[in-house]
Amino acid sequence: MSQLLVVCGLVWRQGMFLAARKKAGKANAGLWELPGGKVAEGETPEQALIREFKEELGMELEVGQVLGSVEQEGALNLRLIALEARCEFEQPTHSSDHDSVVWVVPEFWRLLNWCGNDARLLEEIFWAISRG
């Protein structure tokens, strides 16, 4: 079975990161996620993240390093890769998949009800950051 490759961005601005809540009618409706999307054939994860943010949120990003990844097996075999990114001035102008987009203080990320893979990924990333 082939693996679906999905990319998400841990986008930082002024010490906070961007989170988005899936709107009604979408998979994982009401849950929070790091915005991103599927990597198209022939695209790098970095290219996919830049494209997805432009299409979904109307934002231009500066993409950095890979921060981590998690895999999910079962009915949907998927790998979610998180990339660090920066967006100094822009705010989301719209969202086709989300009903809320907020900047989150890292110390309070657990207060949001996250999609399972995103929660696992954030746990891994913030644990690594705390270790230096």
For 77, half-sphere exposure in the C-beta direction (CA atoms, 13 angstrom radius) is: 3
The total number of structural domains that make up the chain: 1
Prediction pTM value: 0.90
CATH of the domain at 74: 3.90.79.10
Q: Find the domain containing 10 and state its range.
A: 4-131
pLDDT bracket for residue 73 (50, 70, 90): low
Cα atoms in the 13 Å half-sphere on the side-chain side of 5: 11
At 76, is the pLDDT very low, low, confident or very high (cuts 50, 70, 90)?
Answer: confident
Which residue in this structure is represented by tokens 């290219």?
47
